[in-house]
């Protein structure tokens, strides 16, 4: 099942995947949310909280939603599933924008990062400070 996370800025698509996600979930929930957000913004952000070890269509059919995105600004993936964390890191080279993977206990930090102004974050973070979420790829 996919749920849209409410209360995020309108340039952020926030989804929560629980249990087994079907292709129908992606077509009826994820794709319309992506299209709506892309209609308002050239660059969008994705917050993807995944609690299932075997997400099914949540992972495979995510590409259906990705086809409609002109450019990712940021992607935050929140999961404790090791193989998903590693896959996101490997695929980060193919996805433009900043990508970070957060542990489930870091979900509030992931939401803060995905909604933060890029310039504000740079000003607040000291050069020697280590980021709390694991940065997969940084863009300038």
Give residue 37's domain range.
Answer: 2-137
Say how many CA atoms lie within 13 Å of 112 toward its Cβ.
10
Mean pLDDT to the nearest integer, 25-34: 85
Confidence label for 127 from pLDDT (cuts 50, 70 and 90): very low
Give the pLDDT score at 118: 73
- Whose tokens are 């993977």? That residue is 101
Q: Among the listed ranges 32-36, 45-49, 55-59, 81-85, which one has the minimum average pLDDT value?
A: 55-59
Query: Which has more pLDDT, 39 or 95?
Result: 39
Domain count, the chain: 1
User: 109 pLDDT exceeds 70?
Assistant: yes
User: 57 pLDDT exceeds 80?
Assistant: no
Give the pLDDT score at 125: 34
Share the mean pLDDT of the chain.
Answer: 77
| Predicted TM-score (pTM) of this structure | 0.75
Q: Which helix (H) or strand (E) holds 38?
A: helix 31-40
Q: Do residues 71 and 42 touch, judged by C-beta distance below 8 A?
A: yes
The residue among 119, 38, 118 whose CA lies nearest residue 71 is 38
Give the number of other CB atoms < 10 A from CB of residue 79.
23
User: 87 pLDDT exceeds 90?
Assistant: no
Confidence label for 130 from pLDDT (cuts 50, 70 and 90): very low
| Coil, helix or strand at residue 66 | helix
């Amino acid at each position: 099942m996919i749920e849209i996370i409410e209360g995020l800025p309108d340039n952020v698509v926030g989804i929560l995947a629980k249990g087994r996600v079907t292709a129908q979930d992606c077509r009826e929930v994820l794709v319309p949310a992506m299209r709506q957000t892309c209609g308002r913004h050239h660059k969008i952000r994705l917050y993807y909280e995944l609690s299932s070890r075997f997400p099914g269509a949540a992972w495979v059919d995510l590409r259906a939603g990705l086809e409609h995105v002109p450019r990712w600004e940021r992607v935050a993936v929140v999961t404790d599933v090791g193989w998903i964390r590693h896959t996101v890191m490997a695929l980060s080279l193919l996805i433009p924008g900043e990508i970070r993977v957060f542990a489930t206990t870091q979900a509030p930090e992931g939401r803060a990062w995905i909604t933060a102004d890029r310039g504000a974050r740079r000003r607040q973070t000291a050069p020697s400070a280590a980021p709390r979420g694991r940065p997969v790829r940084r863009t300038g």
